[in-house]
Chains A and B, each alone.
Chain A
Amino acid sequence: MRRGPSAFNIASVALGLVFLYAPIVVLVIYSFNDSRSVAVWGGFSTRWYAALFRDQQLLDAIGVTLRVGAISATLATLVGTMAAVALVRGGRFRGRTALAGGVYATLVMPEVILGLSLLFLFVSLGLPRGFWTVTLSHATLTLAYATVVIQARLATFDPALEEAAQDLGCPPWKAFMLVTLPGIAPAVAAAWILAFTLSLDDLVIASFTSGPGATTLPMRLYSAVRLGVDPKINAVSTLLIGLVATGVVAAYLVQQRRRARN
C-alpha cells in the first residue's frame, strides 16, 4: 500500500483551495492597487482605504450594518435559546411540530420569498420601513440558524445537571441560568457569531425590508457596483472579510479551548 496522498488527492485539494480562495485573494490584492482600473496593477497603495474613511455614505452604511447585525444577532440568540430549550426539553407539547417546522422552513425557504413575505407583513401592519424592520427581519432569518446550533448542543447536555441544581435548591429558571447556560455557552456564542455574520452579508432581505436612512453595507455596495466598480469597494470588502475571518477564528478558538478542557 502506498502511503500519503495520491496525485488525485493533491489535485482535488488544490482545485478546491483555488475555487474557494482565488476570488478573495484577488479582491484583497486589488484593494491595495494604486490604479483606478480594476484590471491593471498600478503598484501598491493604501489610498482606497484612506478614501473609504472619507466616504461618509459608506461609513454610515457600515455603521447601520454593524448595529443591525449586533441587535438582530442578540435577538435571534435570545429567542433561539428559548426555542431550543422548548424543543429539546419541552417534551411533546402542543405546537411543537409547528415550532420545529417553522425553524426548518426558514432554513430552506428562498430568501427572496422570506423577504417578500416580511415586506407584506410590515406593509399590512403599517410599519414604516427602516432600521427596525431590517433588524427584525434579520432576527427572523438568523433565528433558525441560532436555534439549530443551540439545539444541537443542548441535546447532548446531561439533563441530570439541571435536576441536580434543582435538587440543591434552585428553582427551574435559576437552575437553567446557573448550570445549563454556562454549559451551552460556547454554542450560544457560536450562534451569535453565526447570526451576526449572516446579517452582515445579507442583501436580499435587507433590500425588501429596509427603508430610507437604513441602507446596509451590502445594499450600498450593490448599488455602487452597478455604477461601475469603485476600488473603495475592494477596500471595504477586504475589511469585511477580515472582520468575518476574525469572528470565525475566534469562535473556533473558543470551541477548541473548551474541547481541550474536557
Chain B
Amino acid sequence: MDPGADRTLSVRPQIGGIRDTFAPWEDATARPLVRFDHVSKAFGGVSAVDGVDVSIYEREFFALLGPSGCGKTTLMRLLAGFETPDAGRILLEGRDIQDDPPHRRPVHMMFQAYALFPHLNVAQNIAFGLKRQGLGKADSAARVEEMLALVRLEGLGRRRIDQLSGGQRQRVALARAIAPRPRILLLDEPMAALDKKLREETQFELMSLQQSLGMTFMIVTHDQDEAMVVADRIAVMREGRIVQVGRPAEIYEAPADRYVAGFIGDINLFEARVTHSENGRVKLASDEGLFEAEGAGPVGKTAWVAVRPEKITVLTERPADLDRDAPNVVRGEIHDYGYLGDWTTYMVRMASGRTLRAARANATRALDRPLGVGDAVWLAFQPTSAVVLTR
C-alpha cells in the first residue's frame, strides 16, 4: 500500500485542481521519493553530472531540461542503474540504491527510440516486465488488456511492432514501462520522434495519464515547451549542474540567471548599472535608457534587466503623458518581423544597434498590419513585467 495515497487524494479531490495545490517540495516534512545527494559522474575525465542535489516527490511530474550534452540523460541513467555515480548517493524512498543492478530497481524507463522488442508482438512486449515479476498468465493478460486500453491500442495486442506507426510504437513503449507499476517512470525524450501536432496531443495525454495513475514521472527533454506543458517542476541543467529548479512559471517569470532566461523562451536583456535597489524594486541606468524592474541588485554594479517579448508594448508614437526620464521606454525601428498566425514578432533595432524582440498577439483578423519594416516605434514595458538578473 502506498503510504501517501490517502493523504494526497483527500487533499486533491479533482484532477483539474491538482496543479495548483500540489507542492510537496515546499513541505519540509515531506519525504522525497528519489533524492540525488550530491551525485557526480565523469566519463574519461569529462564531467557529465557534477554535484547534482535534488529531490523528486511522489506523484510529481519532474522534468530535466537542458541542451544535448548537459548531463540530463546521464542523470536519468544513474537512477535507472545503467551508470554508477563516482560520488554522492541516490536514495529511493530513503534507501541507498547504489548496489542494486538495473533489473532490481523498481524504476522503469521509456527509451528514446522506444527499444521495443522486434521479435515480440505488442502484447508480449507489454507483458515482458510482468513475466519477470512472476505474474501469472491470467493476471498478466488482464494487465496487458488494461494497459492497451489505457494507451488506446485495444485490439492491437497481436500486431507485430513493425506494423505500427510511430505514435503507436510510442504508446506501446509507454504501456510496457508502466505495466509493472514502477515507483518512478523515466521518460527519455519520449516525444522526440513524433511530429509537432502529435507531440502536442501526446503531451496532454501524458499529463492526464500521470495524474490519473498517480505515478511519479521523470522526463528528460531538450524541448522547453514540452517541459513547460507537462511538468510540475523543471530542473534546468547546464554542463552537468542544475542551474534552477522550479515550477514552469517560476522558471519563466523569475529565471535564476541569463542562461535560464535565454534557454526558456525568448528574452530581451539590457545591461545596466544599478543605481537604486530597495523593496524588491531596482532602478538601473545605461546608454540605452533608464530602467526599473523587480528583484534586487548590488548598487553601483552591473546587472541585466530581462523582459520577455510578449510583455513589451509596441507603440507608434511616444505617449504624450510620459516625462523625459520615464523608465522602460526605448526607441527603435522595425527592421524585420515574423508573422506566426497567432503572434507577430517584431525585431526592433535600437539606436545602439542592438535588436530587441517584441511580440504582439494578433487579436483581430485584420489583414492590414499597422506596423511594417522601417517604421519607427517606441517599446515600453511595466517594471512588474521585467526582472533583474545579477548573473
Q: Are A170 and B115 in contact (CB under 8 A)?
A: no
Mask for B108-120, Cβ within 8 A of A = 1, else 0?
1101110111110
At the interface, yes or no: A183 with Cβ under 8 Å from chain B? Answer: yes
Which residue on chain B has the smallest CB distance to residue A161? Answer: B115
**Residues of chain A contacted by B116 (CB below 8 angstroms):** 164
Q: Are A168 and B119 in contact (CB under 8 A)?
A: no
**Residues of chain B contacted by A170 (CB below 8 angstroms):** 103, 132
At the interface, yes or no: A90 with Cβ under 8 Å from chain B? Answer: no
State the interface size on chain A (CB cutoff 8 A): 19
Indicate which residue in B113, B117, B119, B133 contacts A169 across the interface (CB closer than 8 Å): B133
At the interface, yes or no: B162 with Cβ under 8 Å from chain A? Answer: yes
Q: Are A167 and B80 in contact (CB under 8 A)?
A: yes
At the interface, yes or no: B176 with Cβ under 8 Å from chain A? Answer: yes
Q: Write the nearest CB–CB distance from A173 to chain B, whole angstroms.
A: 11
Mask for B69-86, Cβ within 8 A of A = 1, else 0?
000000000001010000
Indicate which residue in A161, A169, A172, A183 contacts B129 across the interface (CB closer than 8 Å): A169
Q: Write the nearest CB–CB distance from B111 to chain A, whole angstroms.
A: 5
At the interface, yes or no: A171 with Cβ under 8 Å from chain B? Answer: yes
Q: Are A164 and B115 in contact (CB under 8 A)?
A: yes
**Residues of chain A contacted by B103 (CB below 8 angstroms):** 166-172, 175
* Known A160-B111, A262-B162; contact A166-B119, beta-carbon cutoff 8 A: no
Which residues of chain B from 99 to 146 have a CB within 8 Å of any chain A CB?
Answer: 101-104, 107-109, 111-113, 115-119, 128-129, 132-133
Which residues of chain B from 310 to 326 have a CB within 8 Å of any chain A CB?
Answer: none
At the interface, yes or no: B180 with Cβ under 8 Å from chain A? Answer: yes
* Known A163-B111, A169-B180, A171-B103; contact A183-B119, beta-carbon cutoff 8 A: yes
CA gap between A179 and B161 in the complex, in Å:
14
At the interface, yes or no: A107 with Cβ under 8 Å from chain B? Answer: no
CA gap between A61 and B312 in the complex, in Å:
92
At the interface, yes or no: A165 with Cβ under 8 Å from chain B? Answer: yes
Q: Write the nearest CB–CB distance from B117 to chain A, whole angstroms.
A: 6
Q: Are A164 and B132 in contact (CB under 8 A)?
A: no
* Known A158-B113, A160-B111, A171-B103; contact A165-B119, beta-carbon cutoff 8 A: no
Mask for A71-115, Cβ within 8 A of B = 1, else 0?
000000000000000000000000000000000000000000000
Closest 7 CB pairs of A and B: A169-B132, A168-B129, A164-B115, A160-B115, A182-B119, A166-B102, A166-B103
Chain A interfacial positions (CB closer than 8 Å to B): 158, 160-161, 163-172, 175, 179, 182-183, 261-262
Could you list 19 A-B pairs, sorted by A, with CB under 8 Å? A158-B113, A160-B111, A160-B115, A161-B115, A161-B117, A161-B118, A163-B82, A164-B109, A166-B103, A167-B102, A167-B107, A168-B176, A169-B103, A169-B180, A171-B103, A179-B117, A179-B119, A183-B118, A262-B118
